[in-house]
Amino acid sequence: MADKNTPRGRWPKALVEQTFPDSEGIVRQVVVRTADGVYRRDVRKLCMLEEKLLSRIEGQMKPVSAVVEQ
């Protein structure tokens, strides 16, 4: 997940939990889960990871319950 206050190689990793398509069906926003919380983000602030890395991260993340707007 892109963060303007963090260098590129240290951006937090997140899993997409929910998508919000516009009236044309194009996803513009998502809810993502990170190790620190759940956030609603513009899809332009996301970067795709390789599947192997994603599997490793998914096994390390803890569940969270609240959505935080930033």
Global confidence as pTM: 0.63
Better-scored residue on pLDDT, 39 or 55: 39
Within-domain flag for 1? no
Q: Is residue 38 part of a domain?
A: yes
- Higher local confidence (pLDDT), 58 or 65: 58
On the question of pLDDT at 6 being above 70, the answer is yes
Integer angstrom CA distances of residue 42 from 17, 28, 60, 69: 13, 6, 24, 11
Q: How many domains does the chain have?
A: 1
The chain-wide mean pLDDT, for the chain, equals 80
Half-sphere exposure in the Cβ direction for 5 (13 Å, CA):
1
Q: Is the pLDDT of residue 7 over 60?
A: yes
Q: Does residue 27 sit within a domain?
A: yes
Whole domain around residue 51: which residue ranges?
Answer: 8-68
| pLDDT recorded at residue 22 | 93
Q: Which residues pair with 39 in a beta bridge?
A: 32, 68
